[in-house]
Amino acid sequence: DSAHKLILLIYLCFGRIINMKDLFIEGISNISLADVNYAKELGFKIKLLATAKKENDKLECRVSPTLIPDTNLLSSVGGVFNSIYVSSDLAGELLFYGPGAGQLSAASAVVSDLIDLTQDIKAGLFRPTLNIIEDNSIKELRKIAEAESRYYIRFSALDKPGVLAKISGILAKFGISIASVTQKEWKKAHIVPIVMVVHNAKEKNLRAALSNIDRLDIIKEKSVAIMIEDV
């Protein structure tokens, strides 16, 4: 659902039609309640964001769980409500908020569109296509592997000496710098969560580092990494 909405918004904002297969889509199945609580301790909330960002001549598009500051208005959106955040060149930052699910709000939107359409046809203003101008400065879509972001990472490791040194050593090998690290309380079988926030890193470098870390005998569960969006 979020991906389909993002495709429509990309067309309205940039005049580009993006195929679903070209979108990076990640769900929330790997997110645990512990991640929600740890994110809260760090001053963030986890939201499923559908994002399109233009940087120079590239357009980055993705749907994924994302940490956003709990001071941002997007962090308070919940329930049946949806929100669209737009950063523009002249109007600045804009936020559109309202119900996006449920039979009444959906019916209202459909009926409103039908009324607008019939009025346009009656007035002779109907156009078979929207008058959208393509942004020709966009040359290509940025692959998610090339995306750069801060990240929240949670490791599940044995509580023994040298664990942090091994993890940080592999991160350093891939050029990933640690901003903060917290080791939580003991869990069963002396397995402890280690929560890190790292500075800007390329997605491909982070995934390569985590692949190496997850193969260590001290790591007992697949590590979780979530992008941080400083909106």
Q: How far apart are CA 174 and CA 194, in angstroms?
A: 19
**Which DSSP state fits 216?**
S
Can you give 48-109 as a three-state secondary structure string?
EEEEEEEECCEEEEEEEEEEEECCCHHHHCCCCEEEEEEECCCCCEEEEEEECCCHHHHHHH
Q: What count of other Cβ atoms lies within 10 Å of the Cβ of residue 196?
A: 22
Residue that has been written with the tokens 């969006």 in this structure: 229
Is 187 a known active-site residue?
A: no
- With H, G, I as helix, E, B as strand and everything else as coil, classify residue 28: coil
From 5, 184, 202, 220, active-site residue: 5
- With H, G, I as helix, E, B as strand and everything else as coil, classify residue 205: helix
Assess contact for 167 and 46: CB atoms under 8 A. no
In degrees, to the nearest 5, what angle opens at C-alpha 199 toward C-alphas 195 and 205? 90
Q: How far apart are CA 155 and CA 14, in angstroms?
A: 38
Gyration radius (Cα) of the chain, Å: 21
Residue that has been written with the tokens 């233009």 in this structure: 54
Point out the residues that are catalytic: 5
